[in-house]
Amino acid sequence: MANYEEVFKKVVAHAKEYGFIFQSSELYDGLAAVYDYGPNGSELKNNIRNYWWKSMVNMNENIVGLDSSIFMHPTTWKASGHVDAFNDPLIDNKDSKKRYRADVLIEDYVAKIEGKIEKEVKKAIKRFGDSFDKEQFVGTNPRVLGYKSKCMSIMQRFSEAMAANKLDDVKTLIKELGIVCPVSGTKNWTDVRQFNLMFKTQMGSTADGASDLYLRPETAQGIFVNFLNVQKTARMKIPFGIAQTGKAFRNEIVARQFIFRMREFEQMEMQFFVRPGKEMKWYEHWKDSRMKWHLSLGIDKELFRFHDHDNLAHYANAACDIEFKFPFGFKELEGIHSRTDFDLKSHQKHSGRKVQYFDPEINESYIPYVVETSIGLDRMFLTILSNSYKEEKVNGENRLVLSIPALLAPVKAAVLPLTKKDGLPEKAREILSLLQCDFLCQYEEKDSIGKRYRRQDAIGTPYCITVDHQSLEDNTVTVRDRDTMAQERVAIDRLYTLVSKKVDFRNYL
Ligand code: GAP
């Protein structure tokens, strides 16, 4: 498809039309950057979450689960550094009155230069054909080298300014690069200021002496403060991990791009506790393992890339993102961070209690180091949705299909009686009852069979099972495959196995 923005608009409209995602409080004109998941969306979201959980917890004997609270003791956030350092640099355009993240303005500028590199590569592929060597080209072509060094020097200046908290330098950089406000087109910028992203609330009435609480901005801290509880009760030995999924909240300055950047979202995080000095080995292990997880879903590997952080968070000694090529470009999907012993050490200090592990192998107590993998469930949802949205021409007609991996598809099979009479609905309901305990199925008898197929394609249902008059005679049905559109006659007593195999977790290992 031609225009990426156009495609993205279509994906967003499709998500609403087919009950995947609604704007929150739409009845009251909506709440910015907050979304609700509809009938198909909640199924897809559950399936992604389950796939992640199974891959982490079932498939790793040294990883266990946790479900900690959103509310935590307020000192947690002082200890974690979020009260003092969980800020975004913001800047306003005085003409449009629009607010931006200074880092995003700079990153978008750099992304445009990177786009020019991609264009040069495409031109060269056309020019050189089969003999083209991409690595050699990007390592030697003077124009590409010029673009690369420009990107590097911009990011370096930005990182240095942020590390030294020199917000004036960030503004100077924005001015020097000639970055304009996308709305007003002017360079009339305010100074850059820091803005804390945590939402505050209160527990208890004021008369009781209410205490200020924060809505957690990451699920990870619930894992850290439960480190000893889990380690002792589950009798875990280092190295081991704790996995958790749950809501997180951030008062994002610029929340845009649909569910990419939300103010209320869900994370799937795993903290892996290791012996000090072993963290780099495990960091590499989890980078590799998480990339494999993404590729296991059959998404083109060209759509993923690693991006090392130049600007490390206050807790990390190494960090990278797995970026996905969303319709609006390569953006962070998942973070892999080597968080050192920062968090546990800080909780030990602020709580006054020992948070240490006795390692029987080396007869020593220490505060473990941590490697974390952290992925936004909503971003993963957007990855699946935008990657699976396809418009095709079939026999001169348009077909819109969501080629969602069968394991994740909201509905696994649709059971469709060809007509509403002659006992076909009754037969179809018998089939439904064979399948529905284990697989979410839909029964549909309205409209022509072609229309019903198209509706199921549009929500990504892997199988349509059609019950016709022959079914009453020989107990067979037609099974139509979403992706190939091939139709096969199948005995009813084989259906359960057929659907099981299609959606089997083992297919994705
Ligand atoms: N515990 C580490 C942590 O929270 P992060 O890079 O700030 O690290 C991890 O967030 C992941 O959470 C991101 O890679 C992204 O997928 C997701 N995420 C972060 N902010 C988000 C937002 N405002 N909306 C949706 N997802 C978000």
Q: Tell me the percentage of the chain whose pLDDT exceeds 90.
A: 88
419 confidence band (pLDDT: 50, 70, 90):
very high
Spatial distance between the Cα atoms of 380 and 260, rounded to a whole number of angstroms: 9
CATH number at residue 331: 3.30.930.10
Q: Among 354, 376, 399, which residue terminates a domain?
A: 399
Whether residue 406 is contained in a domain is answered as no
Q: Where do we find the tokens 């040069």?
A: 120
Block residue for tokens 């994370």: 267
Reply yes or no on whether the pLDDT at 212 is more than 90.
no
Q: pLDDT tens-digit profile of 337-351?
A: 999 999 999 999 999
Same domain, 234 and 310: yes
Choose between 466 and 1: higher pLDDT: 466
Same domain, 189 and 276: no
> In the predicted model, what is the mean pLDDT of residues 232-241?
98
Take atom 5 of ligand 1 and give the residue whose Cα is closest.
335
Do 96 and 137 share a domain, yes or no? yes
Please report whether residue 238 resides in a domain.
yes
Q: Which residues line ligand 1 (CB under 6 A)?
A: 218, 220, 250, 252, 261-262, 265, 267, 269, 332-335, 372, 374-376, 378-379
Residue predicted with more confidence, 474 or 2: 474
Phi-psi region of 209 (alpha: psi -120 to 50; beta: other; left: phi over 0): left
Residue 1 has a pLDDT of 44
**In a shared domain, residues 392 and 415:** no
Backbone angles phi, psi at 394, to 5 degrees: -125, 120
CB 37 within 8 A of CB 48: no
- Give the distance (Å) from ligand 1 centre to CA of residue 13: 24
Token pair recorded at residue 85: 């350092």
Q: Are residues 308 and 327 in the same domain?
A: yes
Which range of residues forms the domain containing residue 313? 1-75+197-399
Query: Which residue has its alpha carbon closest to ligand 1 atom 20?
Result: 261
| Residue 153, in any domain of the structure | yes
Q: Is residue 65 part of a domain?
A: yes
Angle at 228 between CA 224 and CA 233, to 5 degrees: 125
Q: What is the mean pLDDT of the chain?
A: 95
DSSP characters for 275-287?
Answer: -TT-HHHHHHHHH
Q: What is the total count of domains within the chain?
A: 3
For 209, phi and psi rounded to 5 degrees?
80, 70
Judge if 128 and 170 occupy the same domain.
yes
Residue 426: give its domain's CATH number: 3.40.50.800
For residue 186, tell me if it sits in a domain: yes
Mean pLDDT across the stretch 170-178?
96
210 pLDDT band, cuts 50/70/90, is: low
Tokens of 437: 């305990």
pLDDT band at 206 (very low <50, low <70, confident <90, very high): low
What would the pLDDT profile of 242-278 be if each residue is shown by its tens digit?
999 999 999 998 777 899 999 999 999 999 999 999 9
Give residue-wise pLDDT tens across range 58-74. 999 999 999 999 999 99
Q: 80 lies in a domain? A: no
Given the DSSP bridges, would you call strands 463-467 and 413-417 parallel, antiparallel or unpaired? parallel
Q: What is the CA radius of gyration of the chain?
A: 26
Does residue 337 share a domain with residue 203? yes
CA of 260 to the centre of ligand 1 (A): 10
CA distance 399 to 395: 10
108 CA from centroid of ligand 1 (Å) = 18
In a domain, 81, yes or no: no
CATH number of the domain where residue 160 is located: 3.30.40.230
Does 363 lie in the same domain as 214? yes
- Predicted local distance difference test score (pLDDT) of residue 509: 86
Mean pLDDT, residues 408-433 taken together:
97
Co-location of 218 and 334 in the same domain: yes
Domain boundary among the residues 193, 218, 249 is at 193
Q: Which atom of ligand 1 is nearest to the CA of 262?
A: 24
For 464-483, how does the pLDDT look when each residue is reduced to its tens digit (9 = 90+)? 999 999 999 999 999 999 99
Atom of ligand 1 nearest to the CA of 250: 23
Residue 281, pLDDT > 80, answer yes
448, 509 contact by CB (below 8 A): no
Q: In angstroms, rounded to a whole number, what is the distance separating the alpha carbons of residues 110 and 101?
A: 14
What is the predicted pLDDT for the residue at 395?
Answer: 87
Among residues 433, 489, 426, 479, which one has the least CA distance to residue 456? Answer: 479
DSSP SS3 for 27: helix
Claim to verify: residue 211 and residue 332 sit in the same structural domain: yes
Residues 228, 374, single domain; the answer is yes
Residue 429: pLDDT band (50, 70, 90) is: very high
- Examine the fold and report which residue of 377, 399, 421 is the final residue of a domain before the chain moves on: 399
Pair 136, 205 in one domain = no
Ligand 1 atom at minimal distance to the Cα of residue 332:
14
Peptide bond connecting 462 to the previous residue in cis, omega within 30 degrees of 0: no
pLDDT in tens, 73-113: 999 999 999 999 899 999 999 999 999 999 999 999 999 99
Distance 376 CA to ligand 1 centre (A): 5
- Is residue 82, in this structure, part of any structural domain at all? no
